[in-house]
């Protein structure tokens, strides 16, 4: 099928590449001229595992092209809108880019188009889209509007898109539902050639859930808000553990063994960040407010998350006493591992707070330094974890990249001014750290290693 994708960010680029991978002819547009020319020249505007290879393959096969939004609108029978929906100062989602695309489609397209919202949008955005397509249509456009929320995670986006747990579509016409079913058929049947697994992990066929548009829009905001709630919940449990002398990793393990709870998203730390959870929780609170529902539960989720940065800085202050003039190493800048995305990354908030108290930061991240430099230029960016730690009074682990778990701690011990690790993600193998003479501080009262704990009961 001829498909268009508007917006070549983390979601749009993955969507375009994966839909081409499963056999569609895709045109992807991008309004940022620098990003677009990079893509047209075979480069990548962002880091996402496997994505570059998939793009290379489908471009070689002639199934993916990049260009302007006008060309994209002219090309596809179905148009996926994947532009950003950042937060406004009052928490509402900024739908400016969505509105701009709707207007361009209304003015530029003739004949039938299925317009698909893949960006995360407030409930009833579909209804607004329908209205604006009709108001601005100048060339006899016939259209349906559908919602198709995206659940991919940065860092694993290609695998998530090709092997999803579920595909949710919200359509208010049988024609729109049928087109979306056809688009996703190869993924539903898992009948494509997988570009990343020679032997695909058999996850079972994804569930194709068709709802009305409003419900599909709500599913996305409700899902992200629920996951954010789980994170804030375990972060409060971590605070409690620190006071009462329990170990949050063990508490989380014990909770997660209950299948009604599940173990994912029970990792305490410095709080959630990125381009989804913080803004989606805010937007969901606003949606509820405007509908007359006081979703105060989510206000607490947000408040707890905002408190994580200050609490972590306080931990650093407790250890280092005076921060002015101290050299501090920061390992990890991206909001999570395996991405270069630093939008709403807690690591950047922590750095800004430490700098405000006069600390000097030496930072290293495997992929996110280019993007971080644009946000906080006044940091010493380093080649690797060792250079970042050299001469420092503390090493703060703020993003749990795998390479930090493989550090040679005996070498590191010779480089630091003071052997202190503050692990904001409880990600390091504590016995390795401690056995090399470091003082280790984690989140939520983690001090005894799981090994020591089992030694206590003789297992």
User: Does residue number 10 form part of the binding site for ligand NAD (CB under 6 A)?
Assistant: yes
Taking the least distance from each CB to ligand NAD, the nearer of 48 and 423 is 48
Q: Which of residues 69-128 bind ligand NAD (CB under 6 A)?
A: 69, 82-85, 97, 100-101, 119-120
Query: According to CB under 6 A, which one of 3, 4, 12, 334 is a site residue for ligand NAD?
Result: 12
Q: How far is the CB of 96 from ligand NAD (least distance, A)?
A: 9
Q: How far is the CB of 274 from ligand NAD (least distance, A)?
A: 7
Q: In the stretch 138-167, what mask flags binding to ligand NAD with x, by CB under 6 A? A: ------------x-x-x-------------
Output the six-digit token pair for 100: 């701009």
Taking the least distance from each CB to ligand NAD, the nearer of 353 and 371 is 371
Query: According to CB under 6 A, which one of 25, 30, 393, 423 is a site residue for ligand NAD?
Result: 30
Helix (H, G, I), strand (E, B) or coil at 5: strand
- Got the DSSP string for 19-52? HHHTT-EEEEE-S-HHHHHHHHTT--SS--TTHH
Q: Which of residues 255-314 bind ligand NAD (CB under 6 A)?
A: 275-276
Q: In the stretch 350-389, what mask flags binding to ligand NAD with x, by CB under 6 A? A: ----------------------------------------
Taking the least distance from each CB to ligand NAD, the nearer of 11 and 334 is 11
Output the six-digit token pair for 151: 């659940």
Facing residues of 436 across strands?
none
Whole-number Å distance between alpha carbons of 428 and 407:
10
Q: How far is the CB of 119 from ligand NAD (least distance, A)?
A: 3
- Got the DSSP string for 183-216? HHHHHHTT-SPPSS-SS-----PPEEEEE-HHHH
Whole-number Å distance between alpha carbons of 101 and 160:
26
Output the six-digit token pair for 323: 């921060």
User: Does residue number 8 form part of the binding site for ligand NAD (CB under 6 A)?
Assistant: yes
Whole-number Å distance between alpha carbons of 158 and 17:
9
Question: 426, 444 in Cβ contact below 8 A?
Answer: yes
Q: Which of residues 393-412 bind ligand NAD (CB under 6 A)?
A: none
Helices marked H in 29-173? 33-40, 51-60, 69-75, 96-108, 125-136, 157-162
Q: How far is the CB of 295 from ligand NAD (least distance, A)?
A: 19
What contacts 307, CB < 8 A, 6 or more positions away?
Answer: none
Does 276 participate in catalysis according to the annotation?
Answer: yes
Catalytic hit among 96, 276, 293, 382: 276
Query: According to CB under 6 A, which one of 3, 5, 6, 428 is a site residue for ligand NAD?
Result: 6
Query: According to CB under 6 A, which one of 3, 17, 35, 305 is a site residue for ligand NAD?
Result: 35
Whole-number Å distance between alpha carbons of 183 and 17:
14
In which element (H, E) is residue 403 found? helix 402-405
Interface with ligand NAD (CB under 6 A): 6-12, 29-32, 35, 69, 82-85, 97, 100-101, 119-120, 150, 152, 154, 275-276
The catalytic residue positions are 276
């Amino acid at each position: 099928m001829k498909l268009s994708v508007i917006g070549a960010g983390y979601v749009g680029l993955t969507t375009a590449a994966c839909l081409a991978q499963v056999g569609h002819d895709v045109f992807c547009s991008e309004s940022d001229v620098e990003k677009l020319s990079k893509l047209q020249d075979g480069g990548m505007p962002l880091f996402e595992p496997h994505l570059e290879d998939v793009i290379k393959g489908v471009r070689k096969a002639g199934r993916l092209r990049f260009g302007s939004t006008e060309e994209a609108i002219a090309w596809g029978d179905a148009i996926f809108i994947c532009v950003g929906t950042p937060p406004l100062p009052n928490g509402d989602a900024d739908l400016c880019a969505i509105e701009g695309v709707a207007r361009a489609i209304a003015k530029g397209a003739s004949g039938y188009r299925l317009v698909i919202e893949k960006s995360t949008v407030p409930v009833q955005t579909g209804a607004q889209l329908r209205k604006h397509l009709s108001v601005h249509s100048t060339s006899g456009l016939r259209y349906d509007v559908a919602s198709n929320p995206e659940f991919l995670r940065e860092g694993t986006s290609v695998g998530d898109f090709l092997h999803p747990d579920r595909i949710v579509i919200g359509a208010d016409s049988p024609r729109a539902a049928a087109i979306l079913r056809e688009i996703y058929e190869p993924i539903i049947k898992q009948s494509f050639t997988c570009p990343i697994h020679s032997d695909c992990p058999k996850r079972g066929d994804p569930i194709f859930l068709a709802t009305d548009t409003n419900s599909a829009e709500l599913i996305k905001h409700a899902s992200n808000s629920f996951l954010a709630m789980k994170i804030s919940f375990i972060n409060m449990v971590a605070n409690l553990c620190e006071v009462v002398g329990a170990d949050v990793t063990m508490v989380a393990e014990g909770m997660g063994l209950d299948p009604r709870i599940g173990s994912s998203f029970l990792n305490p730390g410095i709080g959630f960040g990125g381009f989804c959870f913080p803004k989606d929780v805010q937007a969901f609170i606003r949606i509820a407010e405007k509908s007359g529902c006081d979703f105060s539960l989510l206000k607490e989720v947000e408040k707890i998350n905002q408190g994580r940065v200050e609490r972590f800085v306080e931990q650093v202050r407790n250890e280092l006493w005076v921060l002015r003039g101290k050299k501090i190493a920061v390992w990890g800048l991206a909001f999570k591992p395996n991405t270069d995305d630093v939008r709403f990354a807690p690591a950047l908030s922590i750095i800004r707070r430490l700098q405000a108290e006069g600390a000097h930061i030496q930072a290293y991240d495997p992929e996110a330094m280019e993007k971080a430099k644009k946000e906080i230029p006044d940091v010493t960016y380093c080649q690797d974890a060792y250079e970042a730690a050299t001469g420092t009074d503390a090493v703060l682990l703020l993003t749990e990249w795998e390479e930090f778990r493989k550090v040679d701690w005996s070498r590191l011990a010779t480089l630091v001014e003071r052997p202190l690790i503050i692990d904001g993600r409880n990600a390091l193998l504590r016995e390795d750290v401690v056995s090399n003479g470091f003082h280790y501080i984690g989140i939520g009262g983690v001090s005894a290693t799981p090994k020591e704990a089992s030694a206590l009961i003789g297992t």
